[in-house]
Amino acid sequence: MYALIVFLPLVGSVLAGLLSLNNQDRPAELVTVTGLLSSLMLSVIAFAEVAIGGTPITVDIGRWIVSGDFAAQWALRFDTMTAVMLIVVTGVSSMVHIYSVGYMSHDNARARFMSYLSLFTFAMLMLVTADNLVQLFFGWEGVGVASYLLIGFWYKKESAHTAAMKAFVVNRVGDFGFALGILAVYVLFDSVQFDIIFAQSSLIATTNIEFLGQSLPALEVAGILLFIGAMGKSAQLGLHTWLPDAMEGPTPVSALIHAATMVTAGVFMVCRLSPMLEYAPFALDVITIVGAMTAIFAATVGLTQFDIKRVIAYSTCSQLGYMFFAAGVSAYPAAMFHLTTHAFFKALLFLGAGSVIHALSDEQDLRNMGGIWRKVPVTYVMMWIGSLALAGFPFFAGYYSKDMILEAAYAAHSGVGNFAFVMGCLAAFLTAFYSWRLLILAFHGKPRASADVMEHVHESPVVMTFPLLVLAIGAIFSGWLGYELFVGHHWQQFWGDSIFILPTNSALENAHHVPSWVKLLPIGLAATGVVIAVLCYAIFTGLPAKIAALFRPIHLFFFNKWYFDELYDAMFVKPAVRLGNFFWLRGDRDTIDGFGPDGVSALVYRISGACSRIQTGFVFHYAFAMLIGVVVLVSWYVLRFKG
């Protein structure tokens, strides 16, 4: 049963790929959706047995890699953390598959698309069930390859394949750090097996390692290198630039990448390695600072964007920052809790945005929307539910998980914890503001689309609205249902050995005893953000433009995404292009081609051409040449021997 959870999506992907050769779109959709729904049902059973029942299990597949003294087994690890991720991944992915049947109905390559989706899900399932770092790396890279295929699915669009390449390259930067981290772990522990690493972490805590010519704490170095991998995959500040561009893929891809699969891989990896990272306090501080900076960075950018999918994408980036600084203050259960709730309401928001785009004839610019809420009532209500959960309003999923993260950051009673708390509170205010900015611009006010577009605005079909309803249930109830299990006073009974926290790191426990103002502050900030958004975009509609003009430098700084793309373009892209052009022109064209095809071969060609001109075809020319030859030969003989 457990192996089927992982391999059913792979079987569906292979079959859909074969069916795509004959353009069998409907059978491919049936195969992939059935595979994912079956995997979801089995995941629910696994969750009941493993997480609720407290019986972790490891399924041995066989020996995988053997090289000298190194051996890596292929085994599937099912503990509480894996069981939670199985529900998240298969639950969201199955809804995305169903939604795609309707959303991609007019595409002529639906079978190929469904194959890619299932392959993506399989790679993520391989990642979360990994029993060692090498197997995790396999799933890690599989997710990267699948994301490249999905982001660049409409490969005939220049922007699509450029975005796919950008995602692939930026992630390779992070993956280089991840690979170095795995090598460092192997050097330290002589193993990549999780059980061995976790058991020996306390013994290795005082060990130093030579890195860049310096003797440094070994676990700190390994932890930071592994986190660099997480930064790329989970789009943290510095390696985030690929995430907004990933919106060039179809909307179901955006939902899958941003909600339940690729971007959550980094958070999962950090939480999985908690028994090791607990002995690397500096690495945890780095994780906290980067997460907090990402949360505020993405929130400031999100409030200035006009592409509906990009606004939600930057909200994903911001929420991932929350998860990381929760892990950084050793509140791993809170990070996993927010990962779970976020998957439901963020998938809901993306698929809801897709429904809006579908209704408005593929329009994505908020400035060309408005006045449609009566025509798409189901989508409108779903977007409200997703926004309320994202902003963290009481009784919605985000309220329980996000507020717990902020309370844990405050309760850490450390400098980095206080920094994360302040940044998180500011981000909570901005999140509510840009969420209601999106709602008002997309659904309210006077219609800004053309009359022809407005005439055809309609609610999405049932195959697209049904997944929204299912995800809305998760966005409402997952926080309430999961609070006691994930982060309650008895969280250790639920998580078991899958999460380890040192007794000295008591942020999660202290979070239950913070002052009332700490609990109420995020709600107050969120409400304030909503009120200001309503005032700016529903009542005093000219105010945003005046504020943008008044604070033009700041607005441009946020609108241009803190100029990270321009900075990287100047520092890395343009020098790389110039260097490539130099080697092409001077190395390939002038040197290799100059001495090769354009040198020796050209000389041979010229000589042979000259010789060919002697061959005139006239007998008297050949006789004359023979006569000259005889004269030369006789003359040489006479001079040589008779002279």
Q: What span, in angstroms and rounded, lies between the C-alpha atoms of 22 and 25?
A: 9
- Identify residue 91 by its one-letter amino acid code: G
- Identify residue 252 by its one-letter amino acid code: P
Q: What span, in angstroms and rounded, lies between the C-alpha atoms of 421 and 408?
A: 9
Cβ atoms of 509 and 333 within 8 Å: the answer is no
Q: What span, in angstroms and rounded, lies between the C-alpha atoms of 637 and 643?
A: 9
List CB contacts of 123: < 8 A, sequence separation 6 or more. Answer: 139, 142, 143, 145, 146
What DSSP state is assigned to residue 371?
Answer: S
Of 192, 150, 188, 185, nearest in space to 167 by CA? 150
The continuous run of DSSP H or E covering 234 comes out as: none
pLDDT digits (tens, 9 = 90+) for 122-177: 999 999 999 999 999 999 999 999 989 999 888 888 888 888 898 888 988 899 99
Q: What span, in angstroms and rounded, lies between the C-alpha atoms of 151 and 133?
A: 26
pLDDT at residue number 490: 86
Q: What span, in angstroms and rounded, lies between the C-alpha atoms of 113 and 109?
A: 6
The continuous run of DSSP H or E covering 402 comes out as: helix 397-411
pLDDT digits (tens, 9 = 90+) for 33-85: 999 999 999 999 999 999 998 889 988 888 888 877 787 888 899 999 999 99
516-534 vs 377-391: helix axis angle to the nearest 10? Answer: 140
- Identify residue 195 by its one-letter amino acid code: D
- Identify residue 307 by its one-letter amino acid code: D
What's the full length of the chain, in residues?
Answer: 643
Q: Give how far Cα 470 sits from Cα of 95, 457, 474, Å.
A: 8, 24, 7
pLDDT at residue number 468: 93
Tokens of 583: 């080697």
Which residues face 217 on adjacent strands?
208
Which residues face 76 on adjacent strands?
59, 130
Q: What span, in angstroms and rounded, lies between the C-alpha atoms of 83 and 77?
A: 10
For the chain, list residues with pLDDT below 50.
none
264-272 vs 110-128: helix axis angle to the nearest 10? Answer: 20
Other CB atoms within a 10 A radius of the CB of residue 557 amount to 15
Residue with tokens 């105010």: 543
- Identify residue 240 by its one-letter amino acid code: H
pLDDT at residue number 643: 58
pLDDT at residue number 592: 76
Q: What span, in angstroms and rounded, lies between the C-alpha atoms of 226 and 218?
A: 12
Chain center to CA of 166 = 12
Q: Give how far Cα 175 sits from Cα of 140, 230, 397, Å.
A: 9, 8, 32
Q: What span, in angstroms and rounded, lies between the C-alpha atoms of 465 and 294?
A: 32
Tokens of 608: 């042979």
Q: What span, in angstroms and rounded, lies between the C-alpha atoms of 541 and 141?
A: 46
Alpha helices in 444-461 (DSSP H): 451-455
Cβ atoms of 338 and 405 within 8 Å: the answer is yes
Q: What span, in angstroms and rounded, lies between the C-alpha atoms of 12 and 19?
A: 10
Other CB atoms within a 10 A radius of the CB of residue 452 amount to 8
Round to the nearest angstrom and report the end-to-end CA distance of the chain. Answer: 104
Cβ atoms of 342 and 429 within 8 Å: the answer is no
List CB contacts of 167: < 8 A, sequence separation 6 or more. Answer: 144, 147, 148, 151, 242, 243, 245, 246
- Identify residue 596 by its one-letter amino acid code: G
Q: What span, in angstroms and rounded, lies between the C-alpha atoms of 439 and 201?
A: 48
pLDDT at residue number 90: 93
462-487 vs 377-391: helix axis angle to the nearest 10? Answer: 20
Task: For CA atoms 396, 398, 404, 410, give the dihedral sign.
Answer: negative
Three-state secondary structure call for residue 374: coil
